[in-house]
Structure 1
Amino acid sequence: MDAGAAAFLIELGVGDTVVGTAAPDFKTDFSGDLREKLDALPVLDDGRGSAESVIAAEPDLVAGISQYEFGAFDGTASVEQLKSAGSAALSACGAVQDGPMENIDETYRYITALATAFDIPERGEELIERIRDQVEEAAADTSDVDVPVLTLSSVPDAGAGVKTSGGSSFANGIITLAGGTNIAQGELQNFASLSAETVTQANPEVIVIVSGFANESDEQLKAAIIASPLLAQTDAVKEGNVVVVPQRILMSPSLLNADAVQTIADAVKNAA
């Protein structure tokens, strides 16, 4: 259902089974040999994957990064529709969280599920170990720090509150691994809304701009957020500790989750 899910299959050595993908924008963050392999895959839908195009490909298994790709986006097939068409479905996100997410175990669970489906458990274990090593290396210098972090995908509006990632979000896990503390960690939901006063009091020392949602370019979005009067007095803005991370690798399982950890960890080190 997206090129990010296809990337996992390629790395597990079963890329030749992929009959097509949707959401090709997920290829944006990949490069090198893996990007070439992703570019070679048929694109069934430039959008989120219409039910008609997916079912017409007659897949045995439909894999996706997010549970929302199965019926929640307009026109996408539900699990029930796929089952009726003879296709199984497997998504990464969707685990129940009793508290704040502090890791990227969803990524590892997804790899295990894919490897189990193809009866290649050893390859799954090897890929998990590789990503774990990458994450540990990325956060090697931030294990003893605690820096307040705010995520934003748009310019905050005083009247509507500051929209950010909550404690149950995958982004919260990335931030935690990078040595930061999400200032909305106490809001146990994927998306949270904080008052301007709460943000001012928390005084984030790092602002993570989540790209991929806004119409403007990353540079334009970053400039607008830095210029926001609501954030002018935060240490993050005053010290220029504002970084951009694509939502594709920050908010859901990805082969490139360690890259997101690295970008935030670098900003955390600058602030510590």
Structure 2
Amino acid sequence: MGPDVEEAATVHLPRPARCSVLLLTGALLLTACGSGAGSGSSGKPAPAGARAVTLDNCGQEVTVGAPPKRAVSLNQGTTEILLSLGLADRMVGTATWTDPVMKGLERAAAKVPRLADDQPSFERVLDVEPDFVASSFASTLGKGGVAPRDRFEELGVPTYLSPADCEGKDNSGDGDGSRTKPLTMDTVHREVRELARVFGVEERGERLVARLGSRVAEAASGIRAGDTTVLYWFANQESPYMAGCCGAPGVITNALGAKNVFDDTTQEWPQINWETVADRDPDVLVIGDLTRRSQTAESAEKKIAFLESNPATRNMEAVREKRYVLLSGQAMNPTIRTVEGVEKVAAALREYGLAG
């Protein structure tokens, strides 16, 4: 997030709730917004003829007065849901990309301005006058992120947080949080349905959910991999982030009946030393193939080169046999692309003769 403005200034607000905001001695002083009713989560009546939607979102009541026309998605996961729902023409910005956009969405994504490849500043988001802001991660709409949710909603901008990052998950500690309940695709399906409802395209949401469910069922059909162990490496070479039991990699593993070698930790992405990794000696290595550049060994090519040269890992069975599965970062996060992860890991288990 960018630094706060220290002198009096006028901030561009969403068109349904446009008003001046004065920053004075660090406090926000809002002038009256005569046209803002129903645009935020204040519970005020929606304008005549509008279709208000109220959601219980991660413990916060959110009211959207009418289907958004100027939405911003702050993470790739929510962006790809909105694009899959055919909503590119109602988006004015995206941000925080780890991978190329999902196949089939390239033309739609090209129509939406990218505010930043990584995390944009609060001011940059306000510049495009959003009337709705969605995020995949609590950290993005929290302290140290773009801005806390209440800063947007003070300005009449309703926010939405992916339930997969808050329900059954404790984000209070360091790192990426811990799961108090295993994630399932039902939570991702709920996100699709809720966003479809907000935008008034419920039928599109149901069709997308049905396609996702069919793809998982088809990919997992006939696979019984109960004796197969899998490890998921997302990023970082020095202190690698490996998947714990119960996030998106858990969805993939459980769909195929396999076993995650680190299913004894509920942390979303614990950092684990290489000696421990080698000791677990998984049958298959699922490797994040990222295009971002915020950690070491982001690409699969760099990860594999490290595994095959490092004394602690080069003699692991999966490394010797080159049993690698390359996944996008989005497929390893709780998104609609987790289905892509199920498909690719299933195909690899069949190829390696480990499908049961």
Shorter chain as normaliser: what TM range? 0.7 to 0.9
Q: Which structure would you say has the larger RCO, counting Cα contacts within 8 Å and 6 or more residues apart?
A: 1
For 1:147 and 1:72, how far apart are their aligned partners in 2?
Answer: 40
Q: Is 2:158 the counterpart of 1:85?
A: no
In the alignment, what sits opposite 1:234? 316
8 Å Cα contact 1:6-1:18 kept in structure 2: no
For 1:8 and 1:149, how far apart are their aligned partners in 2?
Answer: 28
8 Å Cα contact 1:112-1:124 kept in structure 2: yes
| Matching of residues 66-145 of structure 1 within 5 Å | 66-74=137-145, 76-92=146-162, 93-97=165-169, 101=182, 103-145=184-226
For structure 1, which segment, 93-102 or 62-71, has the greater mean C-alpha deviation from structure 2 after superposition? 93-102
| Matching of residues 176-215 of structure 1 within 5 Å | 176-194=254-272, 198-212=276-290, 213-214=295-296
| Aligned partner of 2:242 among 157, 161, 164 | 164
Offset at residue 211 of structure 1 (A)? 3.0
Evaluate the alpha carbon distance shift between residue 73 and residue 138 of structure 1 in structure 2; reply closer, same or farther with a 3 A threshold.
Answer: farther
TM-score where L is the length of structure 2: 0.67
Q: SS where residue 87 of structure 1 aligns?
A: coil
8 Å Cα contact 1:148-1:202 kept in structure 2: no
Evaluate the alpha carbon distance shift between residue 62 and residue 122 of structure 1 in structure 2; reply closer, same or farther with a 3 A threshold.
Answer: same
For 1:271 and 1:192, how far apart are their aligned partners in 2?
Answer: 29
Quick one: which amino acid aligns to residue 222 of structure 1?
I
Q: SS where residue 13 of structure 1 aligns?
A: coil
Quick one: which amino acid aligns to residue 223 of structure 2?
T
Unaligned runs of 5+ in 1: none
| Aligned partner of 2:80 among 4, 7, 17 | 7
For 2:275 and 2:116, how far apart are their aligned partners in 1?
Answer: 43
Which structure features the higher share of helix residues? 1
Quick one: which amino acid aligns to residue 80 of structure 1?
D
Evaluate the alpha carbon distance shift between residue 153 and residue 4 of structure 1 in structure 2; reply closer, same or farther with a 3 A threshold.
Answer: closer
TM-score where L is the length of structure 1: 0.85
8 Å Cα contact 1:3-1:22 kept in structure 2: yes
Offset at residue 176 of structure 1 (A)? 2.3
For structure 1, which segment, 97-106 or 187-196, has the greater mean C-alpha deviation from structure 2 after superposition? 97-106
Evaluate the alpha carbon distance shift between residue 4 and residue 25 of structure 1 in structure 2; reply closer, same or farther with a 3 A threshold.
Answer: same
Offset at residue 143 of structure 1 (A)? 3.8
Offset at residue 52 of structure 1 (A)? 0.7
For 1:86 and 1:203, how far apart are their aligned partners in 2?
Answer: 52
Unaligned runs of 5+ in 2: 1-73, 170-178
Q: SS where residue 343 of structure 2 aligns?
A: helix
Evaluate the alpha carbon distance shift between residue 24 and residue 193 of structure 1 in structure 2; reply closer, same or farther with a 3 A threshold.
Answer: closer
Write the deviation string for residues 46-82 of structure 1: whole angstroms up to 9, x where unpaired.
32122111122222211122222213555x1210111
For structure 1, which segment, 129-138 or 230-239, has the greater mean C-alpha deviation from structure 2 after superposition? 230-239
Offset at residue 252 of structure 1 (A)? 2.8
For 2:219 and 2:317, how far apart are their aligned partners in 1?
Answer: 23
In the alignment, what sits opposite 2:130? 59
Q: Is 2:234 the counterpart of 1:153?
A: yes
Offset at residue 207 of structure 1 (A)? 0.7
8 Å Cα contact 1:2-1:23 kept in structure 2: yes
| Aligned partner of 1:30 among 90, 98, 102 | 102
Write the deviation string for residues 11-67 of structure 1: whole angstroms up to 9, x where unpaired.
2233321111112454x04234x2111011112223212211112222221112222
Q: What RMSD over aligned residues (CA atoms) do the two structures have, in Å? A: 2.5
